[in-house]
Structure 1
Amino acid sequence: MIGFAMPLAFLLLPLPLVAMQLLSGREAVTGALVLPESIGRSLPGEARDGVSVRAQRAIPILLWLALVTALAGPERLSPVEALPVSGRDLVLAIDLSGSMEQTDFTLDGETVTRLDAVKTVGRRFVAGRAGDRVGLVLFAERAYVAAPLTFDVAAVARAIDEAVIGISGRSTAIGGGLGVALKRLETSEARSRVVVLLSDGADTSGNVLPAEVAGLAKRLGVTVYTIALGPEDQETRPNDPDAVDAKTLREIAETSGGSSFRVRTTADLETVTAAIDRLEASGLDRPPATVRQDFWIYPAMLAFACSIFLVVSRRAL
Structure 2
Amino acid sequence: MAMPLTAFDFAAPLLLLLLPLPLLVARLLPPERSGGAGALVVPASIVARIGRGENLLARARRQTFLAWLLWIALVVALAGPRLVLPAAALPASGREIMLALDLSGSMERVDFSLDGRNVARLAAVKRVGADFIRRRAGDRIGLVIFADQADVAASLSFDTASVAHALDEAQIGLVGRSTGIGDGLGLALKRLDATPAREKVVVLLSDGANNAGQTTPHDVAALARELGIRVHTIALGPRDLSDAEGDPDVVDTEALRDVATTSGGRFFRVRTTDDLAAVADSIDAIEGGRAKAPPVPLRRDLWPWPGGLALLTAVGLLLTRRMA
Normalized against structure 2, the TM-score is what?
Answer: 0.87
Amino acid at match of 1:215: A
Q: Between Structure 1 and Structure 2, how many residues are aligned?
A: 301
Q: Tell me, in whole angstroms, the C-alpha distance in 1 between the residues paired with 2:118 and 2:141.
A: 29
2:264 aligned with 1:265: no
Change (3 A) 1:46 1:261: same
| 1:148 match | 155
| 1:10 match | 16
Amino acid at match of 1:164: Q
Between 295-304 and 91-100, the greater mean CA deviation after superposition: 295-304
| Offset at residue 277 of structure 1 (A) | 1.4
Helix, strand or coil: the match of 1:243? Answer: coil
Q: Tell me, in whole angstroms, the C-alpha distance in 2 between the residues paired with 1:176 and 1:120.
A: 25
Q: Tell me, in whole angstroms, the C-alpha distance in 2 between the residues paired with 1:27 and 1:70.
A: 37
**Residues 182-235 of structure 1: CA deviation (Å, up to 9, x unaligned):** 111102233321111000111111111111110111111111110111111111
| Offset at residue 248 of structure 1 (A) | 0.5
Q: Tell me, in whole angstroms, the C-alpha distance in 2 between the residues paired with 1:267 and 1:217.
A: 29
| 1:115 match | 122
CA contact (8 A) 1:87 1:284 kept: no
| Offset at residue 151 of structure 1 (A) | 1.4
| 2:217 match | 210
The equivalences for 1:289-304 within 5 A come to 289-304=296-311
Change (3 A) 1:106 1:27: farther
CA contact (8 A) 2:89 2:292 kept: no
**Among the aligned pairs, what percent are the same residue?**
53
Helix, strand or coil: the match of 1:215? Answer: helix
Between 214-223 and 105-114, the greater mean CA deviation after superposition: 105-114
2:35 aligned with 1:48: no
The Cα RMSD (Å) is 2.0
Helix, strand or coil: the match of 1:138? Answer: strand
**Residues 36-92 of structure 1: CA deviation (Å, up to 9, x unaligned):** xxxxxxxx745313x443112211111111111111122233333221112111111
Q: Tell me, in whole angstroms, the C-alpha distance in 2 between the residues paired with 1:54 and 1:3.
A: 32
Gaps (5+ residues) in structure 2? 35-51
CA contact (8 A) 1:234 1:246 kept: yes
Helix, strand or coil: the match of 1:48? Answer: helix
CA contact (8 A) 1:131 1:282 kept: no
Q: Tell me, in whole angstroms, the C-alpha distance in 2 between the residues paired with 1:267 and 1:17.
A: 78
| 1:188 match | 195
| 1:280 match | 287
- Compare CA radii of gyration and give the structure with the larger one: 2
Helix, strand or coil: the match of 1:235? Answer: helix
Q: Tell me, in whole angstroms, the C-alpha distance in 1 between the residues paired with 2:153 and 2:22.
A: 59
**Residues 266-299 of structure 1: CA deviation (Å, up to 9, x unaligned):** 1111111111112111412322322223222222
Amino acid at match of 1:118: V
Q: Tell me, in whole angstroms, the C-alpha distance in 2 between the residues paired with 1:100 and 1:315.
A: 80
The equivalences for 1:66-81 within 5 A come to 66-81=73-88
Normalized against structure 1, the TM-score is what?
Answer: 0.89
Q: Tell me, in whole angstroms, the C-alpha distance in 2 between the residues paired with 1:27 and 1:175.
A: 90
Q: Tell me, in whole angstroms, the C-alpha distance in 2 between the residues paired with 1:149 and 1:178.
A: 15
Runs of 4+ in 1 over 3 A off after TM superposition: 17-28
